[in-house]
Amino acid sequence: MSSTILIIDDEAPIRESLAGILVDEGFHPLTAASAEEGLTILDNKEVNLVLLDIWLSGMDGIEALEKIKLENSDLPVIMISGHGNIETAVQTTRLGAFDFIEKPLSYDKIVLAINQGLHVARLERENKILRDSSPRVPEITGTSEPVNLLRVQIERVAPTDASVLITGGHGTGKELVAQAIHRKSKRGASPMVEVNCAAIPEDLIESELFGHVKGAFTGADRTKKGKFDQADGSTLFLDEIGDMSLKSQAKVLRILQEQTFERVGGSRSLSVDVRILAATNKNLEQEIEEGNFRADLFYRLNVVPIQMPDLAERLQDIPALVEEFLGKFKDKGLGSKQFTDSALSTLMSHSWPGNIRELRNMVERLVIMTPGQQIEAEDVALFLHPGTATPVQGNSYGLYQHLAFKEARKQFEHDYLKAKLEENKGKVSRTAEKIGMERSHLHKKIKALSIEVEEKNLPPST
């Protein structure tokens, strides 16, 4: 589609000459004999660039330029003058003109200026689209002790170039921590390059990471840069690195050791300056014992280990997380809704085996499916998985109404865990498995809530 160029000049021969040049160059010209006529055209037509004479009868070009920029700040305007001087050129440039050309007009100069103006405008549009479409930089939400410790670890490791291994369950926010480390590092001005090792087929992972040369395999019709190339001078985040093949692990190890690699099918060594952040939900030490992960790579990655807390370890952060999600869903057009204190208490009684991701999905589901503006405890209980979020047998929320919010949550946790322990005959390991909580965390909760545990013999499992 050809670009539309508006010519505003009160001299008919100039308009006709410029229009002829534009047609020859493949543009679509529109003409106006006055600034007022040109502004009317801009109000009614899609225009890509304006050629504007300074000396016009009626409204002059400088005033017209101000009005154009007020309404169309991204529209490139090239000023034309038969009586140009440096002062006028500087004035129009300050007002936002893209270029200033003196009469008599040179064919080559006018075409070059138009092409440059269109090119710059296109780049600015693309950058704006990228900025608008880019998600807001997420922050780590919460004030719990595990989250505060996480922030301290990020602040300490971010300024260094040390490799970081982020471990934790699905949905705990490992990528969020990687983004925070990169953003606070000296490489933060460049974008972090991300690779999900579990999402790429094994036969393509090497090409994805290291690139390939033309003809390296069927379909490799051109040389392609890999993620390590793209991350040169920045940070590469290898998510789910526990799913990477041993062959690819060996190549990653070499890069960590020597900062060099070869593209698939190539023989030339390429040097890069890349910081590695890696994440996994697997126990890599166990994977090493089973022969699925290289011990030497583990030690290279595990310079600074960061263990992500499960949501069950930071239940007090749920109200803040819910508030954050509600804001995001409102931006998506899902409306504005609020959770009552009892609804939040119900959310905080759940063990959340899917962690923050599961909580986010639940909040979105409740926002969509709850008809009223206020989400109550009964709404939450209705949608939570049966047996993990309903009130403990023999208790009701009314028992907690006289307590402050934190006290009510603590009492609910006490009653809930005590009931679950009794159901499982006091067996801590079995209870932890049933409610989706780490055994060590359950032990801590039992101690913190002063729950007496009496272990009884369980019937043989069938």
233-256 pLDDT per residue, tens: 999 999 999 999 898 898 889 888
Compute the distance between CA of residue 237 and CA of residue 182 in angstroms, rounded to an integer.
9
Residue ranges and CATH numbers for the domains of the chain are 4-133 (3.40.50.2300), 145-309 (3.40.50.300), 313-448 (1.10.8.60)
pLDDT tens-place string over residues 329-358: 887 777 788 999 999 999 999 989 999 999
Chain-centroid distance, C-alpha 271 = 28
Token couple for 403 = 């307590």
Chain-centroid distance, C-alpha 253 = 28
More confident residue, 223 or 35: 35
pLDDT tens-place string over residues 113-162: 999 999 998 888 777 656 554 555 567 899 999 999 999 999 999 999 99
For residue 51, list its beta bridge partners.
7, 78
Any residues with CB less than 8 A from the CB of 201 and at least 6 apart, and which?
Answer: none
Any residues with CB less than 8 A from the CB of 399 and at least 6 apart, and which?
Answer: 411
pLDDT the model gives residue 326: 93
Compute the distance between CA of residue 367 and CA of residue 374 in angstroms, rounded to an integer.
9
Residue with tokens 């390590």: 228
Averaged confidence pLDDT in the chain: 85
pLDDT tens-place string over residues 180-192: 999 999 999 888 9
Neighbouring CB atoms inside 10 A of 428's CB total 16
b/e map 304-321, b = 16+ CB within 10 Å: bebebbbbbbbbbbbbeb
pLDDT tens-place string over residues 418-450: 888 888 888 888 887 777 677 777 888 888 888
Compute the distance between CA of residue 413 and CA of residue 408 in angstroms, rounded to an integer.
9
Angle, helices 61-71 vs 35-44, to 10°: value is 20
Q: Dihedral through CA 141, CA 145, CA 148, CA 149, nearest 10?
A: -130
Compute the distance between CA of residue 43 and CA of residue 289 in angstroms, rounded to an integer.
71
Neighbouring CB atoms inside 10 A of 322's CB total 23
CB 255 within 8 A of CB 272: yes
